[in-house]
Amino acid sequence: MEKKSIEIKGSNFTLLVLYLNNQNIDVINQSLYKKIQECPKFFKNAPVIVNVSGLCHTADWKKIKEIIISHGLLIIGVSGCQDKSILKQNIIDSKLPILSEKKTINLDLISHLSTHSKKNTQQERLNKIDKTHIIDSPVRSGQKIYAKHADLIVTNNVSAGAELVADGNIHIYGAVRGRVLAGASGDVTRKIFCTELFAELVSISGEYWLLDQIPVKFIGKSTQIYLKNKLLTINFLS
């Protein structure tokens, strides 16, 4: 059967969300520089969603956009815009799409839900996780594996530049050098387990560490990573 010349399909991507909470150009510039210096290779040409909910409607979007691009980040959309604001119109005029964060994985903030709503939402997600995806082959650079409503088990090595994403827990019985994101749908009870930790990034429900932020004594070791009081926590696996 002849392939169609083009196809449009739904997919899932892991995107960084850059939250701007200060509209001072110098502050943004300095803050971006410090953050990128933590892991330059990871942030080089990284696609980002820019959240402007913390900016007032008079913020100079043109200069802000120029600064972000100057640091090597690629803006693929903007979220957090207030309806009918001057800022929103300036963003539209700059030819960037206005996006909803429901389509991104938030790597900076957990959603501000009430305690009651969180419990209900978490219980719904727990009920949905009823199967496990098992990968026995090595996960190569550039590969992405997403276990929707499921745990993910990898019984081999994960190369740098590869990405593991699961709504449930992630278990890696091998050396992991790629990105690992558990609880991707927002479940804060999920964990990451691995036998040799060298990951470029680890994340539980949006809270994340880059490799340089992982305590050195855990690098290359058998570990578990989880959230405790909303903070990432790491322990050795006995």
85-105: pLDDT as tens digits:
899 999 999 999 998 754 344
Are 150 and 225 part of one and the same domain? Answer: yes
| φ, ψ at 16 (rounded to 5°) | -75, 140
Residue 176 in tokens: 């992991």
Q: Domain limits at 147?
A: 132-236
Cα-based angle 39, 74, 148 (whole degrees, multiple of 5): 80
Contact indicator for 49, 19 with CB cutoff of 8 Å:
no
Contact indicator for 196, 175 with CB cutoff of 8 Å:
yes
Residue 223 in tokens: 């570990």
Greater pLDDT, 12 or 102:
12
Strand partners, 182: 204
Q: Is residue 169 part of a domain?
A: yes
Q: Is residue 4 part of a domain?
A: no
Strand partners, 17: 49
Q: What is the DSSP letter of 156?
A: S
Alpha-carbon gap, residue 81 to 104, rounded angstroms? 15
Residue 140 in tokens: 């190569």
Is residue 43's pLDDT more than 90? no
Residue 164 in tokens: 């593991």
Assign residue 50 the CATH number of its domain. 3.30.70.260
Are 151 and 231 part of one and the same domain? Answer: yes
Are 88 and 148 part of one and the same domain? Answer: no
Strand 47-51, strand 74-79: pairing? parallel
Helix (H) or strand (E) holding 34: helix 25-38
Q: Is residue 148 part of a domain?
A: yes
Pick the most confident of 4-18, 39-53, 119-133, 217-231: 217-231
Residue 2 in tokens: 């002849």
What pLDDT shows up at residue 109? Answer: 32
> 42: pLDDT confidence band, cut at 50, 70 and 90?
confident
What pLDDT shows up at residue 14? Answer: 67
What global pTM score does this model have? 0.60
Are 89 and 144 part of one and the same domain? Answer: no
Q: Is residue 6 part of a domain?
A: no
Strands (E), 167-216: 170-176, 179-182, 192-197, 201-204, 207-210
What pLDDT shows up at residue 46? Answer: 85
